A = this chain, B = another copy of it.
Amino acid sequence: MPNPTAAMLVIGDEILSGRTRDANMHHLAGELSRVGIDLKEARVVSDDPDAIVGAVNALRGAFGHVFTSGGIGPTHDDITADCIAAAFDAHIDVRADARTILQTHYDARGIEMNEARLRMARIPDGAVLIDNPVSAAPGFSIENVHVMAGVPSIFQAMVAGLLPTLTGGAPLISQTIRLNRPEGEIAAPLKRLAQAFPDLSIGSYPFTIGGHFGTNIVFRGSDAAMVADAAAQLADICGVAPE
């Protein structure tokens, strides 16, 4: 049987203007190669509804999967979710499941929900949420189109969670430990954990908030007890509570 095919759609004026260099295409290309999905085309389009809808419809008809990156944040120019809904002629609004995920995340951090953040809970009817272990705001899959964030650390975390569901592997359980320290300080214990749990995938996703460095460590595996064990060991080493 030939490999499944895929296309990528990068959405964002900042790539086309040269302000930002896209990093997600190269990452996705490597990950798809690894799991045996053939990336056949990639496109970059601007934050323009006609361009996005046109590209989504062209690519989803021509390829087995379409992966998008960008345009699902809180600002007015984040129009990807609405454009995907338009491409599928699907209804879109703030969805309760996505809103709950955001509210829980913000409540735990003392962050206020506002209208802009609520935009990130706009999800088309019928879409399946994609886990965002870094900053909570979910991506989503609708039919063969997988909509993910443009920020590289979030994109990478979403891809890591999504791909096993597309390749027929066992569903993955994930657990995240949030650390208020930079990656460099925890590299050594992480390496020991990775050696102790060879069946788990352990991802490290750095972030900055208010000028401080932090890292989300995401444990993924098909054995829930093993995931919980590894996460608890890291939490114990670092003196934090597992989420």
Contact B41 A45, beta carbon cutoff 8 Å: yes
Cβ of A43 under 8 Å from chain B: yes
Which stretch from A21-29, A144-152, A210-218, A219-227 is at the chain B interface? A21-29
Contact residues of A: prevailing secondary structure: mixed
Which stretch from A11-19, A92-100, A183-191 is at the chain B interface? A11-19
Cβ of A42 under 8 Å from chain B: yes
User: Which residues from chain A sit less than 8 Å from chain B, CB to CB?
Assistant: 15-18, 21-22, 25-26, 28-33, 38-46, 51
Please tell me which one of the listed residues B16, B29, B51 contacts residue A17 in the complex, with CB atoms under 8 A apart. Answer: B29
Extra contacts besides A15-B25, A18-B31, A18-B33 (15): CB < 8 Å:
A15-B26, A16-B39, A16-B40, A16-B42, A17-B29, A18-B28, A18-B29, A21-B26, A22-B25, A25-B44, A40-B46, A40-B51, A41-B43, A41-B46, A41-B51
Instruction: State A18–B28 Cα separation when bound (angstroms).
Output: 8
Instruction: State A43–B22 Cα separation when bound (angstroms).
Output: 13
Contact A17 B43, beta carbon cutoff 8 Å: no
Nearest 9 A-B pairs (CB), nearest first? A18-B29, A18-B30, A42-B44, A21-B26, A16-B39, A18-B33, A43-B43, A17-B33, A41-B45
Set of chain B residues within 8 Å of A21, measured between Cβ atoms: 26
Contact B44 A16, beta carbon cutoff 8 Å: no
Contact B45 A44, beta carbon cutoff 8 Å: no
Instruction: State A21–B25 Cα separation when bound (angstroms).
Output: 8
Contact B44 A15, beta carbon cutoff 8 Å: no
Instruction: State A32–B18 Cα separation when bound (angstroms).
Output: 8
Set of chain B residues within 8 Å of A17, measured between Cβ atoms: 29, 33, 39
